[in-house]
Structure 1
Amino acid sequence: MVHGLCLLLIETSLAGAGTGGQPGGPGRSVRRPGRSNAGHPSDKEAGHVRESMIRRFEAVRQFLRERGMAAGLVTGPISMRYLTGWSNPSKRFAGLVIPADGEPALLVPALEVEEVRSASALRLVAWQDGEDPFAALSGMLRAAGAGEGRIALEQADLPVGQLRRIAGALGLAPSVLLDAAADLSPALSAQRESKDEDEIALLQQAADMLNPALDAALAAIRPGVTEREIARVLEEAMLAAGADGVAFETHVLFGPASALPHGSTGARTLEPGHVVLMDFGAQLRGYRSDITRTVCCGAWPDELARVYDVVLAANQAAIAAVKPGVPLGDVDRAARQVIEEAGYGAYFIHRTGHGLGLEIHEEPYVVAGNEKVLRPGHVITIEPGVYLPGVGGVRIEDDVVVTEDGCRVLTSWTKERLSAG
């Protein structure tokens, strides 16, 4: 029993993840049954994943110790996925307690236990519908030595209502828990910036799934087809290639609508001479790819053909600038300079790129004035574009990983100026 609740403590552990200790109160131990690996990493992959998780937890513990915190509490879905391999699919509360010295434990809704066990080797504490998860959480935090409020929270991802309930369960004022120096949000975001080899492998697989999708879309482009039909072709081909789902809402824009950088896919029908802008991505085990290619139905109009060549040159210039130690603002400048010198600077109306990983947009950002420097393991998009109102737009986007001596482009579908249909 923990504070009057009947909880189920599931005895699993992440070898090397802690030094002992069992956050949470005593409960009925349940032996972890063997499970099929269908849909999950192989034994070899799982070993790499465990090593990655151990490193990630130790980085969090180091953060806690440096700030005199007894424990960290992770509640954001992205950080939860990063540290556990599991993402909470419901609105029911889940929280990961990481003691500064001790083994992490994950509080989850009871109906998610089987799914969590298939993804994570962490110690689990399950709460049933009708029980108060925050009372259970307070027991776990007290067991970790954080009952007096020495807790690092993900402040950017913690709703005010949850903050109040956590504080109330501990008998504390919410303000006691809001130590800016112990905010886990920027620390975890910074930790996720540099990808390890397992993450890069997943991002490469997700990028490879885009090729058959673009091949299928190119074959389907013809006058009279709708944006939604091409979007459906892209998505079905990605799923057939093994994607778990789409990385974000697929954007397919025809003709003048392609001048809207984030326009919505609709029922517009394709006409000869219209460009087709396709911005989409695949999701694999939470990791996301992101590509944009622009083709034309029939012959390219002269001005848009010129624009395409300028945007391609900007894409290539920015990729050539990507290497360790280079400020991200310089990469943006490399793309922007090409477009400005061609006379289209006023029509390049967004940053050159963004970080990519478990989120489709994450740190670091390839934007003017960003003095943060590139490091090996950074994965960014390079996506310059020119958008002519009432005429059309061209964007060419690639996913790029920073290596020890330069970079490697993950997306490989052709950037040749193509006509279709």
Structure 2
Amino acid sequence: MSKAQELIKNEGLVGMIITDPYNMRHISGFRGGEGALYISATQQVLITDSRYTEQAEKESDFTIVQEHRGHTREQIFAECLAKEEGTLAIGYEDQSLLCCQFDKMAKAMPVKDWVPMGGKVDALRRIKTAEEIEYLAQAEHIGDVAFSKILDFLRPGVSELEVAAELEYQMKKAGAEDLGFNTIIASGLNSSMPHAIPGKKKLEAGDFVTMDFGCKYEGYCSDMTRTVVLGKANDKQKEIYNVVLEAQLAGLAAVKAGKTGKEVDKVARDIITKAGYGEYFGHSLGHSVGLFIHEKPGLAPSDETVLQAGMIETVEPGIYVPGFGGVRIEDMVLVTEEGCRNLASSPKELIEL
């Protein structure tokens, strides 16, 4: 019995419909992302169209059913239901399914009880297998390679867009199949915006340059941030950088199975607050990573989830001062019983270029 079928049994359901592409990949092995799954104790059906049927047959051991205008997804679901016995209680992914899609299913299927699954299906992805950990480690290693190459590229006159393009090129050259998310390059005053969009601004002497980037390897994401100074750092830049570095190292040391996300976040946040920069650290300390870049649980003031060995978390404190600039340092780590294994190896001491 698969984990998805165990979930169905534990929730007292007849079956479950999966539409989130990341959960489809995790449960069925199918990477195409277009389609849906129907799962019950006796059926595992993958529905997709002619663009992906051959791929699906190669990647998944589910029964593949092709949808088209004369045989719609909703009709296929109804056919699956006709093979079931008992009260028709069906689980669905209310956090990702569009209302119009749900309305189509509800009209076509004789379901007595539609049961929203919340984050229960996503939770099946929290503990990574050895194979998943290997893919995630390789994705982070590709980021390390790209960072080592980008340092020689950074110089006054180069635009943020050019830096982003070069980082992305280096990740692809090192084996990335795609980006994990849109690359963030923030220089000078722009670095006070945690998720600044790379623009035409050119790097200048004295700038903080924050680079937040990641790739996908075998579908699994990486996430890394490094901040450097173009030229010599001034005293204020050194102060802020060193506070963030101290907080990041303390956060890494606090990660361990049995700790809550809230407890780990507090360790790093207290250091930044004590240094007088608490108001300039607005986001959480970290998040889980897997097939999707932002997964749960997180390292956050409100997250009381207990960390377990096999989870992947980022540790990424930052200080962002409007009108001055900002610093973020981020590594991706594997939670273990003893602490954590850092999947990143790029240097974190202040680099002055």
Q: Could you tell me the TM-score, scaled by structure 2's length? A: 0.96
**1:285 offset after TM fit, Å?**
2.1
Code of the aligned partner of 1:156: Q
Structure 2: distance between partners of 1:171 and 1:371 = 39
Structure 2: distance between partners of 1:109 and 1:258 = 44
RMSD in angstroms over aligned alpha carbons? 1.6
Match of 1:85 in 2: 29
2:77 touches 2:109 (CA, 8 Å); kept in 1? Answer: no
| Alpha-carbon spacing, 1:373–1:171, altered in 2? closer, same or farther (3 Å) | closer
Structure 1: distance between partners of 2:110 and 2:253 = 56
Match of 1:136 in 2: 76
* Counterpart selection for 1:187 from 120, 142, 149: 120
Structure 1: distance between partners of 2:262 and 2:334 = 17
CA deviation vs aligned residue, 1:2-60 (integer Å, no higher than 9, x gap): xxxxxxxxxxxxxxxxxxxxxxxxxxxxxxxxxxxxxxxxxxxxxxxxxxxxxxx6222
* Counterpart selection for 1:342 from 275, 286, 291: 275
Aligned residues between the structures: 353
**Which ranges in structure 1 are unaligned for 5 or more consecutive residues?**
1-56
Code of the aligned partner of 2:216: Q
1:167 touches 1:177 (CA, 8 Å); kept in 2? Answer: no
CA deviation vs aligned residue, 1:124-180 (integer Å, no higher than 9, x gap): 11123454221122102222447x5321111222222222222222245xxx4433x
Most deviating of 211-220 and 259-268: 211-220
**1:414 offset after TM fit, Å?**
0.7
Pairing of 1:346-361 with structure 2 (within 5 A): 346-361=279-294
Structure 1: distance between partners of 2:278 and 2:167 = 31
Pairing of 1:3-402 with structure 2 (within 5 A): 58-90=2-34, 94-100=35-41, 102-145=42-85, 149-172=88-111, 176-179=112-115, 183-402=116-335
1:109 touches 1:129 (CA, 8 Å); kept in 2? Answer: no
2:25 touches 2:33 (CA, 8 Å); kept in 1? Answer: no
**1:120 offset after TM fit, Å?**
1.7
| Alpha-carbon spacing, 1:150–1:302, altered in 2? closer, same or farther (3 Å) | same
Structure 2: distance between partners of 1:204 and 1:185 = 29
1:97 touches 1:141 (CA, 8 Å); kept in 2? Answer: no
CA deviation vs aligned residue, 1:305-344 (integer Å, no higher than 9, x gap): 1111110000000010011111111111110111112111
1:71 touches 1:145 (CA, 8 Å); kept in 2? Answer: no
**1:185 offset after TM fit, Å?**
3.8
Code of the aligned partner of 1:84: S
Percentage of pairs with the same residue = 37
1:157 touches 1:185 (CA, 8 Å); kept in 2? Answer: no
Structure 2: distance between partners of 1:268 and 1:213 = 22
User: Runs (4+) of structure 1 moved beyond 6 Å?
Assistant: none
**1:89 offset after TM fit, Å?**
4.6
Code of the aligned partner of 1:66: N
* Aligned-partner SS, 1:155: coil
Greater C-alpha Rg:
1
1:354 touches 1:381 (CA, 8 Å); kept in 2? Answer: yes
Structure 2: distance between partners of 1:142 and 1:162 = 20
Structure 1: distance between partners of 2:226 and 2:28 = 34
CA deviation vs aligned residue, 1:47-79 (integer Å, no higher than 9, x gap): xxxxxxxxxx62222222223211111111111
Structure 2: distance between partners of 1:301 and 1:130 = 68
2:258 touches 2:308 (CA, 8 Å); kept in 1? Answer: yes
Structure 2: distance between partners of 1:165 and 1:156 = 17
Q: Could you tell me the TM-score, scaled by structure 1's length? A: 0.81
* Aligned-partner SS, 2:58: helix
* Counterpart selection for 1:409 from 332, 342, 353: 342
